[in-house]
Amino acid sequence: MPPEPDAVEPGAAVPDRARSDACPGALRLHTADDGALARVRLPGGLLTDRQALALAGAAETLGDGRLEITSRGNVQLRGLASDCGAELAERLRAAGLLPSDTHERVRNIVASPGPGAGPAEGSADVRAWARALDAALCASPWATGLSGKFLFALDDGRGDVAALDADVTLIAGPDGTALLRLGRAATARPVPAGRAVEAALDAAREFLDAQRAAGLRAWHLRELPDLLPPGPVPLAPPAATRPPLGALPGGGLHVGLRFGVAAAGQWRALVEAAEGELRLTPWRGAVLPGAPADRLPALAAAGFRTAAGTAWDGASACTGLPGCAKSRSDVRADAARALGGVRVLDEGAALLPVHWSGCERRCGHPAGLRVDVLATGEGYRVAVTGGPQGRDTAVEVTNELMAAAVAAARRTT
């Protein structure tokens, strides 16, 4: 079965979750038109260079030679043979990427990736949180009841991953404090930073317990927003500030990938530049905390995005044809042509992210307000969606007019 749609827009009816989600994993492979697909969870997006090279080797030997960074900072391998599951699992275990067979699909944890090698000044180390939460999840038998889509976000106080609409969000504060937000709530629970991981895990268990008591089943907290009591502390909207592309102020580099896809050779160039740890981001890029600035030209030559200010900023797309049979178009090729028609963004312009989808499932779309570009079979439907007021008026356009329609829709007021 294909992965289930993950979109629940404001005001939409609660979907029927009478059965388990079909989200792929490292052991549960999904059959696509281009072969089997495996999704390897990487809590916090953290990878050692050895682990990153193991993924490249698996992609080349077992798959189509490419690696995809997902909107949760995980890695997908595509074009796999249907009978390669045992060998893939063996490779992942040897690299330390499969610590639990029973919990591998619920290890969905995003974390602030930087900038620099350390946490934000005065805040908790969210990478330590990610490792501790991952270990605690894998050690909790009840956690297998969570959906493969249930998401934890660990924010170092900058507001970057707090903007991702996670089910359970921890926001580090100064002086050993933290805030625990449930779903899309505008309030949070204060917790000591020393027990923040325990509080996040407790919240997930409370959600499962409350569902059972109410005779309901959901994949996300936002589907049943009244199931758990809100926190007492009001929260300002998250800043949604991502690390800038290029050299980071605190040291290290941040590079992006078009549609999150890298050939194995590109991936190895990334590992070579990293000099140790890589942090994959939910914006389909990577932070290299130990990389010097003089590595940027080589990364740019290898096809990585190393500077902002182009039409590719905030652009994403689902797999589309030929990999997905449900898609009505080769959306990545169409999106690349449209983006190529806009060379440089207006200086200082505030632009919405834009996501191309081949069908109504809108796989991989970003959270929050965005431009939604949906293939119709005869062209595209362009609309602004994801905001508190729901979907704006859509415009039907041909492929030839798509670039202009998307460019106009991206400009915020």
Sheet with 35-40, strands from edge to edge, namely: 30-32, 35-40, 75-80, 66-69, 261-263
Per-residue pLDDT tens digits for 53-90: 999 999 999 999 999 999 999 999 999 999 999 999 99
Say what the pLDDT of residue 412 is: 65
Are 403 and 342 in contact, with CB atoms under 8 Å apart?
yes
Mean pLDDT of all residues in 281-298: 95
Mean pLDDT of all residues in 18-25: 81
Say what the pLDDT of residue 5 is: 43
Say what the pLDDT of residue 9 is: 44
Residue 272, sorted as left (phi over 0), alpha (psi -120 to 50) or beta, turns out to be alpha
By CB atoms closer than 10 A (0-12, 13-18, 19+), residue 226 is exposed
Say what the pLDDT of residue 342 is: 65
pLDDT surpassing 70 at residue 186:
yes
Query: Which band of pLDDT confidence, cut at 50, 70 and 90, is reported for residue 394?
Result: confident
pTM of the shown model? 0.90
338 membership: H or E segment, kind and range: helix 331-340
Query: Which band of pLDDT confidence, cut at 50, 70 and 90, is reported for residue 388?
Result: low
Determine what percent of the chain is predicted with pLDDT higher than 70.
89
Tell me which of 36-40, 165-169, 254-258, 365-369 is least confident.
365-369
Beta bridge partners of 68: 76, 261
- Between CA 341 and CA 323 the distance in angstroms is 25
pLDDT surpassing 70 at residue 405:
yes
Say what the pLDDT of residue 100 is: 97
Query: Which band of pLDDT confidence, cut at 50, 70 and 90, is reported for residue 382?
Result: very high
Looking at mean pLDDT, say which of 7-11, 117-121, 359-363, 386-390 comes out highest.
359-363
pLDDT surpassing 80 at residue 20:
no
- Between CA 16 and CA 92 the distance in angstroms is 34
Query: Which band of pLDDT confidence, cut at 50, 70 and 90, is reported for residue 124?
Result: confident
Tell me which of 194-198, 269-273, 377-381, 391-395 is least confident.
391-395
Rg (CA), the chain: 20
Give me the chain's average pLDDT, please.
89
